[in-house]
Amino acid sequence: LIGALVQGLTDSHTLFVIARFFGGMAVGAASVLSPAYISEVAPAAIRGRLTSVQQVMIITGLTLAFVVNYVLAQQAGDSLGELAGYPAWRWMYLAQAVPAVVFLVALQFIPESPRYLVSSRREDEARVVLTRLFGETEAARKVEDIRASFATDHRPRLADVLAPGTVLRPIVWAGLIIALFQQFVGINVIFYYGETLWKLAGVSEKAALERNIISGIVSIAACLLAMALVDKIGRKPLLLIGSAGMTLSLGAMSWAFSQGTLDASGALQMDQQLGFMAVIAANIYVIFFNASWGPVMWVMLGEMFPNQLRGSALAVCGLAQWVANYAVVQSFPAMASGLGLAETYVLYTISAFVSFWLVKSFLPETKGKELEQMEGWGGH
């Protein structure tokens, strides 16, 4: 909330950067804590669906941001035009305050994680929360299971993610695989650079903004599909289907871009048919990502680690995911201009193909398992 207000109102570049940094830290923390919290309070039978809600909300937020930015730019003429005495771009940043306030208020009405309460020796409070969620008989059993899973001589710590020696535990490597490759396939290039990407492909600015909104709507529908399937067919099959679909659609995008020509200014020019093919392939790619890797990564990171590791392992994987996000997004402009769009998307295609093999070879299935049943995976 403070970050949004400072970004929208300050005239200082330094303050703007500081506000962006702390706002980003807050978003990063929420993105890691949310799936952990949901997985810790949700019944195993519907945990996947409930955790998938996070990705639905992320994509809904992105889509609303696209719509708000589009409307503000249209009303002001462009992002530099004035509305009510302020440039439109300032209103775009100030708009972040609305969901921040809603989030802050909503937090006052959710119970504390029962697993956190047990680990803090507040079992009576944990029993109250679990009774509200599952009933008195089930609550008593769950308190015992949670207590047993925390039967260790120390509180959770970052060193827990290490196997004997100095290497990460295999289950943490599995988490890193899905955290990193969720970004290596280039999904945020579509969302962060959608307008620039389509303009490079010869689409007008207005049409490029509209395509961003369309991609957002398609993403929401795909996330809802994932919610319907994740607890029925499992996490691993969804990831494999997603990897296969992304490999094919990213390959199609790369081929379409490779058939374009460069004009005198170096801009990519594509005929109507190639442009249409690229748009269709991009939306198919978005569908496969958001019906699989988008929500399922958060589902698995929230549930695949045993209680003793969960907080530390999620922190490591969450950090890796955001670092990969930053690296992919920051490298795209240089890669697109230096290598070309086609070659850049070949790299994303290769990442999608590799993700299929990694999931098939190394990732465990977590469908239907209680969090306390994950203990056996913590060390191998």
Which of 3-7, 21-25, 304-308 comes out lowest in average pLDDT? 304-308
315 in the same domain as 169? yes
163 in the same domain as 126? no
The arithmetic mean of pLDDT across residues 27-55, rounded, is 75
For the cut 60, the answer to whether the pLDDT of residue 372 exceeds it is no
The arithmetic mean of pLDDT across residues 135-162, rounded, is 66
299 in the same domain as 275? yes
Q: What is the pLDDT of residue 357?
A: 93
Tens-place pLDDT, residues 157-215: 555 655 555 556 777 888 888 899 999 999 988 877 776 666 655 666 667 667 777 87
Residue 141: give the domain boundaries.
114-149
Query: What mean pLDDT, rounded, does the chain reach?
Result: 79
Question: End of a domain among 97, 132, 149?
Answer: 149
What CATH number does residue 47 fall under? 1.20.1250.20
302 in the same domain as 268? yes
- Most confident of the following: 113-117, 132-136, 312-316, 341-345: 341-345
Whole-angstrom Cα distance, residue 238 to residue 224?
13
Cα dist from 316 to 29, 296, 339, whole Å: 12, 18, 32
For the cut 50, the answer to whether the pLDDT of residue 380 exceeds it is no
200 in the same domain as 331? yes
20 in the same domain as 97? yes
Q: What is the pLDDT of residue 157?
A: 58
Number of domain units in the chain: 2
Which three-class secondary structure state does DSSP give residue 112? coil
The arithmetic mean of pLDDT across residues 6-18, rounded, is 85
| Burial (0-12, 13-18, 19+ Cβ within 10 Å), 375 | middle
Q: What is the pLDDT of residue 57?
A: 82
Q: Provide the pLDDT confidence category of residue 355 given band limits of 50, 70 and 90.
A: very high
> Exposure pattern of 286-317 as b/e (b: 16+ CB <10 Å)?
bbbbbbbbbbbbbbbbbbbbbbbbbbbbbbbb
218 in the same domain as 118? no
Q: Provide the pLDDT confidence category of residue 344 given band limits of 50, 70 and 90.
A: very high
78 in the same domain as 141? no
| Burial (0-12, 13-18, 19+ Cβ within 10 Å), 75 | exposed
Tens-place pLDDT, residues 80-137: 667 777 787 788 888 888 888 988 898 888 888 887 787 777 878 888 888 877 777 7
Q: Where are the beta strands (DSSP E) in the chain?
A: 82-83, 86-87, 261-262, 268-269
11 in the same domain as 145? no
For the cut 70, the answer to whether the pLDDT of residue 298 exceeds it is yes
119 in the same domain as 69? no
DSSP 153: S
79 in the same domain as 35? yes
201 in the same domain as 125? no
- Pull the structure tokens for residue 60: 């809904």
Q: What is the pLDDT of residue 146?
A: 73
Tens-place pLDDT, residues 226-248: 888 888 888 889 999 999 999 99
Question: End of a domain among 94, 128, 149?
Answer: 149
Percent of the chain at pLDDT above 90? 14
Q: Provide the pLDDT confidence category of residue 249 given band limits of 50, 70 and 90.
A: very high
Q: 269: which strand partners? A: 261
Question: End of a domain among 99, 132, 149?
Answer: 149
